[in-house]
A and B are shown apart, each in its own frame.
Chain A
């Protein structure tokens, strides 16, 4: 057993990649899956989740969103974490039922955006892929309902955001009628 100590970032990433392969490369061998993968995959996802949540120093790197790429997007630990979780969830959907809420929270943390600026594009792509994979947790029967539920919630969220738009022009002017007409058309 490795003693508890702070591992440097490259080691963490190498461990993530190695485990990602172990859990997803042998999905055709049921004996291996039953004995090794299924008992451990949730532990792996939970550890990855905590890694993504606790890495605030990486977040600092993302916040100032530059038009130029200052670093390799795939070098970002959160992106690697989310991509790894997405693959684990796709390979073992129903096993992940217990941590479904925590995973949704993680995906929405990036999809909801930040007040301080634009979310990093690559981070957002990784988060949306994760969000899209989460409905599979419901299994063959429940996945449809879960997808429908998350879609409806997203649409409701969008409507709420749109309806709370305010104009700074006087209300009798064109902008407000423009908004009302727009809403009427969309409904």
Chain B
């Protein structure tokens, strides 16, 4: 299989909408391998999709985005290093939410 082919099919089918991303998340997570996140033309689209999911209006979409980002980080250190700043920018404020709620 050429590099990126798996990501392409995931992006076109399972991750085509936020709702289907949530529904098919187990399949996406379990079918990802270290080979599928090797550098390819699809990898940029993949990280862009994760970014979009992380900023989703639905909490389910954000959850799916976080899980995909987690799995991708485990599989590829390079992708993790490239995206760490932007992922952190989303995930850190998420954790601090409760504290702000309590303060107000």
Of the residues A6, A15, A44, A47, contact of B66 by C-beta under 8 Å: A15
Q: Chain B CB within 10 Å — which of A8, A18, A29 has the most?
A: A18
Which B residues are in CB contact (< 8 Å) with A11?
59, 62-63, 66, 94
When chains A and B are docked, how far (Å) is the Cα of A29 from the Cα of B84? 13
- Does B30 touch A at the CB level, under 8 Å? no
Q: Mark B6-22, 1 if CB is under 8 A from A, else 0.
A: 00000000000000000
Which of chain B's residues has its CB closest to A81's CB?
A: B95
Which B residues are in CB contact (< 8 Å) with A10?
63
Which B residues are in CB contact (< 8 Å) with A8?
59, 63
Which of chain B's residues has its CB closest to A11's CB?
A: B63
- Does B5 touch A at the CB level, under 8 Å? no
Are B98 and A2 in contact, with the CB atoms below 8 A? no
When chains A and B are docked, how far (Å) is the Cα of A17 from the Cα of B74? 11
User: Shortest distance in angstroms between A115's beta carbon and chain B's nearest beta carbon?
Assistant: 26
Are A15 and B85 in contact, with the CB atoms below 8 A? no
Of the residues A5, A14, A50, contact of B96 by C-beta under 8 Å: A50
Which B residues are in CB contact (< 8 Å) with A44?
92, 95
Are A40 and B94 in contact, with the CB atoms below 8 A? no
Q: Mark A11-55, 1 if CB is under 8 A from B, else 0.
A: 110111111011001100100100010001001100110110010
Which B residues are in CB contact (< 8 Å) with A47?
92, 95-96, 99
Residues of A within 8 A of B (CB): 1-2, 4-8, 10-12, 14-19, 21-22, 25-26, 29, 32, 36, 40, 43-44, 47-48, 50-51, 54
| Further pairs besides A1-B93, A19-B92: 8, Cβ < 8 Å | A2-B94, A7-B94, A8-B59, A15-B66, A21-B70, A21-B80, A22-B84, A26-B84
